[in-house]
């Protein structure tokens, strides 16, 4: 439920809190005018309008659930989940990205909600050519078009926060131009406030998991996705990490054609990953091995992961310059890593905790398992809670613990991967919990699930145990910390600190 006041200079926004029937009023004052040139920096008018539009939809569902609880009716989670998905379905932009993201964090939402929200599409309507010209002028000035040899006004791809255009540089290189939609910071801040309502619903229906840190983590990562200068630094970091790895390609950012809301980089040509589902097992395994390296190597050697292993963030390049020219599948040579908006960096002790948990599970050393959970930031763990958490840990680590060639999981589909185990953990935590999920854990968990889904799509069959042990061989905490410090400084990426 949401409304705005006609009182000049002050907006009143209403949304439901956890106390049934108790609204909270948010007062937003008009900003003092100044000489700042960045008129897209969280504009109040756009933000307030977004509050009203999003809040009306989400608040209606929140009020419905609150009414059910207040009147003593048992909430029908499946119907409420469908209602929330329907409420969000007409809203494009950040709130949709948040909804999809929440659906892929196993500990964030009840199963019914995750199932419904995972089906939403986050693409916003693309900007038309005239609008694109205005946005490009705002970022690069009135002569922006002359800075490219050619620029295609129709987007090659669009998503929740921006769209990508093809272009050609004056040196003849094919370019990808990623242009952020206008008023995105305002939209993100408004939508994140409504995310609090979704978490209030979660607290009512599923008190097994304390989601306070999840909210902080999702908010921080989504805000980072708006900062294309940071994304350029993350891209440079991955280029440094994989400079000697021919199976993994990273685009080059053109700094003179990039801003905080515009990113120009080299275009990496490749096929969609799903095109290779009918390919021979040898080819699918080769793709999976490159994917495994692209994810686990940066984490174990530099304390950084790609937090959004979505199928659209990778393409496959093939052997030979004319590979696949006639439309037929060629021999895969490696993967293109295309998007660096959702990168998660970790203090190196967290990396040590991941390896400690693996070794604790592998050698049945409970004290090492407990130490790993504590290193990650889980607190107040009883023996029962440790056992429940280990159900999930054994699922995530299962393929890495099993020294044989196998698929990543048996008897499941990409859409259902991890849902049964997450449901089991949730049910037990309702009795023995709640447990507070640390911030650093959130995207690590989400990305591990996403990576498993990719491997399921490929039907890859490998010895994941050997691949993981080869990756972490020779791990020394101090050496990783020093390597991280040097690489992050070279790329311009801030060093992570605990709790960030």
Tokens read off for 354: 């991941």
One domain, residues 396 and 495:
yes
Token look-up 């604790």 returns 360
Q: What is the DSSP letter of 31?
A: P
Residue numbers of the domain that contains 197: 10-121+184-203
One domain, residues 189 and 213:
no
Distance in angstroms (rounded) separating the CA atoms of residues 82 and 195: 17
One domain, residues 106 and 219:
no
One domain, residues 197 and 214:
no
One domain, residues 14 and 107:
yes
Residues 6+ apart with CB under 8 A from 354: 299, 372, 444
Tokens read off for 54: 């999003």
One domain, residues 356 and 472:
yes
Residue 250 lies inside a defined structural domain of this protein: no
**In contact, 273 and 316? CB cutoff 8 Å:** yes
Residue 135 lies inside a defined structural domain of this protein: no
Residue 139 lies inside a defined structural domain of this protein: no
- Closest-CA residue to 99 (of 126, 86, 115, 118): 118
Q: Which helix (H) or strand (E) holds 225?
A: helix 212-225
Residue 432 lies inside a defined structural domain of this protein: yes
Mean pLDDT, the chain, integer: 80
One domain, residues 355 and 372:
yes
One domain, residues 99 and 217:
no
Residue 438 lies inside a defined structural domain of this protein: yes
pTM given for the model: 0.81
Least confident among 10-24, 93-107, 131-145, 339-353: 10-24
Q: What is the per-residue pLDDT across 431-441, written as a single tens digit (0 to 9) for each?
A: 777 788 888 88
Q: Who has greater pLDDT, 372 or 411?
A: 372
Residue 191 lies inside a defined structural domain of this protein: yes
- Count CB atoms within 10 A of the CB of residue 190: 25
Distance in angstroms (rounded) separating the CA atoms of residues 212 and 22: 20
Distance in angstroms (rounded) separating the CA atoms of residues 160 and 109: 21
Q: What is the per-residue pLDDT across 111-121, written as a single tens digit (0 to 9) for each?
A: 565 555 555 55
Q: What is the DSSP letter of 315?
A: E
Residues 6+ apart with CB under 8 A from 111: 419, 422, 423, 426
Residue 330 backbone dihedrals phi, psi, to 5 degrees? -100, -170
Cβ neighbourhood burial of 469 (10 Å; 0-12, 13-18, 19+): middle
One domain, residues 188 and 220:
no
One domain, residues 223 and 90:
no
One domain, residues 117 and 221:
no
Q: Indicate if the pLDDT at residue 176 is higher than 50.
A: yes
Residue 134 lies inside a defined structural domain of this protein: no
One domain, residues 378 and 462:
yes
Number of structural domains found in the chain:
2
Residue 225 lies inside a defined structural domain of this protein: yes
Query: Quick one: pLDDT at residue 312?
Result: 82
**In contact, 191 and 93? CB cutoff 8 Å:** yes
């Amino acid at each position: 439920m949401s409304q705005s006041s006609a009182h000049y200079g002050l907006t009143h926004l209403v949304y439901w809190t956890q106390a049934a029937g108790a609204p909270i009023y948010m007062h937003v004052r008009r900003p003092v005018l100044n000489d700042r040139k960045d008129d897209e920096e969280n504009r109040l008018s756009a933000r307030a309008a977004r509050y009203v539009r999003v809040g009306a939809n989400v608040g209606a569902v929140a009020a419905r659930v609150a009414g059910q609880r207040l009147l003593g009716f048992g909430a029908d989670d499946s119907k409420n989940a469908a209602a929330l998905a329907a409420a969000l379905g007409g809203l494009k932009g950040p709130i949709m990205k948040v909804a999809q993201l929440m659906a892929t964090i196993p500990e964030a939402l009840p199963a019914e909600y995750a199932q419904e929200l995972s089906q939403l599409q986050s693409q916003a309507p693309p900007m038309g050519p005239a609008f694109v010209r205005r946005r490009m002028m705002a970022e690069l000035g009135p002569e922006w078009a002359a800075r490219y040899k050619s620029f295609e006004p129709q987007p090659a791809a669009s998503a929740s926060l921006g769209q990508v255009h093809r272009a050609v540089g004056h040196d003849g290189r094919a370019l990808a131009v990623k242009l952020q939609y206008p008023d995105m910071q305002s939209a993100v801040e408004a939508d994140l406030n409504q995310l609090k309502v979704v978490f209030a619903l979660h607290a009512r229906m599923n008190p097994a998991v304390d989601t306070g840190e999840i909210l902080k983590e999702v908010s921080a990562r989504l805000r980072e996705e708006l900062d294309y200068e940071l994304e350029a630094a993350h891209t440079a970091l991955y280029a440094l990490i994989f400079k000697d790895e021919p199976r993994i390609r990273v685009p080059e950012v053109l700094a003179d054609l990039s801003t905080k809301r515009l990113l120009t980089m080299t275009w990496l040509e490749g096929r969609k990953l799903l095109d290779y589902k009918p390919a021979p097992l040898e080819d699918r395994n080769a793709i999976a091995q490159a994917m495994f390296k692209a994810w686990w190597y940066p984490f174990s050697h530099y304390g950084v992961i790609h937090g959004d292993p979505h199928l659209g963030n990778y393409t496959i390049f093939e052997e030979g310059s004319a590979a696949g020219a006639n439309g037929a599948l060629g021999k895969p040579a490696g993967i293109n890593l295309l998007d660096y908006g959702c990168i998660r960096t970790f203090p190196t002790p967290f990396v040590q905790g991941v390896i400690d948990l693996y070794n604790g599970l592998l050698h049945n050393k409970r004290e090492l398992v407990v130490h790993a959970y504590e290193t990650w930031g889980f607190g107040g763990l009883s023996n029962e809670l440790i056992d429940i958490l280990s159900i999930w840990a054994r699922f995530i680590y299962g393929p890495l613990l099993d020294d044989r060639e196998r698929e990543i999981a048996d008897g499941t589909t990409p859409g259902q991967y991890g849902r049964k185990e997450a449901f089991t953990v949730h049910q037990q935590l309702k009795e023995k919990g709640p447990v507070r999920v640390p911030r650093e854990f959130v995207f690590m968990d989400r990305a591990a699930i996403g990576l498993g889904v990719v491997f399921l799509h490929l039907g890859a069959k490998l010895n994941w145990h050997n691949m993981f042990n080869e990756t972490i061989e020779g791990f020394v905490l101090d050496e990783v910390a020093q390597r991280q410090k040097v690489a992050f400084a070279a790329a311009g990426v801030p060093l992570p600190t605990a709790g960030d």
